[in-house]
Amino acid sequence: MNNRLFLYSGLFLVLILLYDSWHNRLEQNMAAQKSIPETIQESGQIKSEPSSQPNVELPEKKDDNVDSILVVTDTLELKISLADGSVISSKLLKYPENFGSEDIKVQLLDDSNQTYVARVGLQSKSAAQPQNFRSSKKEYLLGERDNMTVEINGETNEGVKIAKKYLFERDSHLINISQVVQNASDAETNWRQYYTLERGDEQSSNAMLYTYTGAAFYDEDEKFSKISFSDIEDNDFLRTTTNSWISMIEHYFFTAWLPSKNEKQTIYTRFSDAGPSKSYLIGSVGNYKNLPAGSEKVFESRLYVGPKNQAEIKDLAPGLDLTVDYGMLTFLAAPLFWVLDKIYFLFGNWGWSIIALTFIIKLLFFRLSETSYKSMAKMKKLTPRMTALKERYGEDRKKFSEALMKIYKEEKVNPLGGCLPILIQIPVFIALYWVIIESVEMRHAPFAGWILDLSSADPFYILPILMGISMYIQQKLNPPPTDAMQQKIFLALPFIFTFLFATFPSGLVLYWLTNNVLSIAQQYVINKRTLA
The band of 11, judged by pLDDT with boundaries at 50, 70 and 90, is: low
The residue with greater pLDDT, 256 or 1, is 256
Mean pLDDT, all residues of the chain: 80
Residues 6+ apart with CB under 8 A from 192: 122, 123, 124, 285, 286, 287, 288, 289, 299
Cα–Cα distance measured from residue 212 to residue 203, given in angstroms and rounded to the nearest whole number: 12
Which residue intervals of 412-483 are DSSP H helices? Answer: 419-438, 462-477
- Residue 152: strand, helix, or coil: strand
Residues 6+ apart with CB under 8 A from 186: 293
Which of 166-180, 195-209, 411-425 has the largest mean confidence? 166-180
Cα–Cα distance measured from residue 210 to residue 205, given in angstroms and rounded to the nearest whole number: 6
DSSP character string of 269-335? EEEE-SSSS-EEEEEEE---EEE-TT-EEEEEEEEEEEE--HHHHTTTSTTGGGGS--GGGHHHHHH
What are the backbone angles phi and psi of residue 197, rounded to the nearest 5°?
A: -125, 125
Q: What is the pLDDT of residues 323-355, one digit of tens each?
A: 998 878 888 999 999 999 999 999 999 999 999
Q: What is the pLDDT of residues 266-305, one digit of tens each?
A: 999 999 887 777 889 999 999 898 888 888 999 999 999 9
**Taking residues 206-232, what's their average pLDDT?**
83
What are the backbone angles phi and psi of residue 164, rounded to the nearest 5°?
A: -110, 125
Question: Which domains can be identified in the chain, with CATH numbers?
Answer: 2-19+334-531 (no CATH), 35-323 (2.70.98.90)
Cα–Cα distance measured from residue 242 to residue 261, given in angstroms and rounded to the nearest whole number: 10
Q: What is the pLDDT of residues 117-141, one digit of tens each?
A: 999 999 888 777 787 899 999 999 9
* Residue 65 and residue 81 in contact, taking contact as beta carbons nearer than 8 Å: no
Across-strand partners of 135? 152
* Residue 466 and residue 513 in contact, taking contact as beta carbons nearer than 8 Å: yes
**Taking residues 451-461, what's their average pLDDT?**
89
Any idea which of 47-51, 95-99, 444-448 has the lowest mean pLDDT? 47-51
Q: What is the pLDDT of residues 425-445, one digit of tens each?
A: 778 878 888 888 888 998 899
Across-strand partners of 297? 181
pLDDT at 243: 84
* Residue 247 and residue 220 in contact, taking contact as beta carbons nearer than 8 Å: no
Neighbours of 315 (CB within 10 A): 9
Cα–Cα distance measured from residue 30 to residue 324, given in angstroms and rounded to the nearest whole number: 19
Q: Is the pTM of this model over 0.85?
A: no
CA geometry: angle at 329 spanning 433 and 30, to 5°? 130
